[in-house]
Amino acid sequence: MISNTHEAKRIEDALATGINPVELFRDWFNGVSNHPDIKLPDAFCLSTVSPDGKPEGRMLLLKGVDNATGFRFFTNQNSNKGHSLTATPLAAMTFYWEAIRRQVRIQGRVIEASSADSDDYFNSRPLMSKIGAWASDQSQRIESRAALEEKLARCEAEFGQNVPRPPHWVGFDVVPEMIEFWLEQPSRLHDRFVFKRSGTNANWNCVRLQP
């Protein structure tokens, strides 16, 4: 079992010399990626604001972490979340790894990834996932499961093995402005470290919060 007390002390010690929260996230993520009790370490809740101002959330998979560009995911730009991100390009991400009793919350502005990056990732996907991206008009009504499977079959016949990326299937980067690390502790006296970006540069300020 990973010691959260030891990890909290390690973070406190690192604060004296400077610590990049994106690198700290990467360290935690690498630690859980092969954990036998964590089946989807890359799963997170993406929270956005709808065009009519309502909060909304759904589960996605993280597809990349970069110190400069932040946290990447891919989706259908014509979906509900795509419309929300276009209307209000801000988002929050929440990771929770129950097996090690840790959580990470991220808030930041959202930037669309380059076409080349979206092409590269789309081309790495399994064949049927590529075809499914064409078959599903994500978030739109459909009369039945059978109708969806018929659309999939038509797209499979049309594209065969050579499936181009749909123009609406894109990557997004959440460029972090706030990252909070939460570690469960006894008696609900949890450790919380909140990093906030200082201005527009790469410097971060960190404070401890009461649980």
Say which residue, 63 or 202, is predicted with more confidence: 63
User: Residue 198's pLDDT is what?
Assistant: 81
**Band of pLDDT at residue 13, cut at 50, 70 and 90:** confident
What confidence category does residue 144 fall into, taking pLDDT thresholds of 50, 70 and 90? very high
The per-residue pLDDT for range 81-136, each reduced to its tens digit, is 999 999 999 999 999 999 999 999 999 999 999 999 999 999 999 999 999 999 99
Is pLDDT at 1 greater than 60 in this prediction? Answer: no
pLDDT bracket for residue 18 (50, 70, 90): confident
**Residue 189 has what pLDDT?**
93
pLDDT at site 201 = 62
pLDDT the model gives residue 183: 97
Asked whether the predicted pLDDT for residue 53 surpasses 60, the reply is yes
Residue whose token pair is 């570690």: 183
Residue 103 token pair: 């959580």
- Residue 74 host element (H or E): strand 70-76
pLDDT reported for residue 86 = 94
Residue type, 112: E
Q: Across all residues in the chain, what is the average pLDDT? A: 94
Q: How confident is the model at residue 200 (pLDDT cuts 50, 70, 90)?
A: low
Which residues are 174's β-sheet partners?
71, 110
Q: Which two tokens stand for residue 148?
A: 């969806």
CB 93 within 8 A of CB 85: no
Confidence of residue 2 (pLDDT cuts 50, 70, 90): low
In the structure, what pLDDT confidence band is assigned to residue 178 with cuts at 50, 70 and 90? very high
Helix (H, G, I), strand (E, B) or coil at 4: helix
Confidence of residue 55 (pLDDT cuts 50, 70, 90): very high
| Across 56-80, average pLDDT | 95
Report percent pLDDT > 70 for the chain. Answer: 98
pTM of the model: 0.92
CA–CA gap between residue 51 and residue 158 (Å, rounded): 35
- Residue 74 burial by Cβ neighbours in a 10 Å radius (0-12, 13-18, 19+): buried
Domains of the chain: 4-122+171-209 (2.30.110.10)
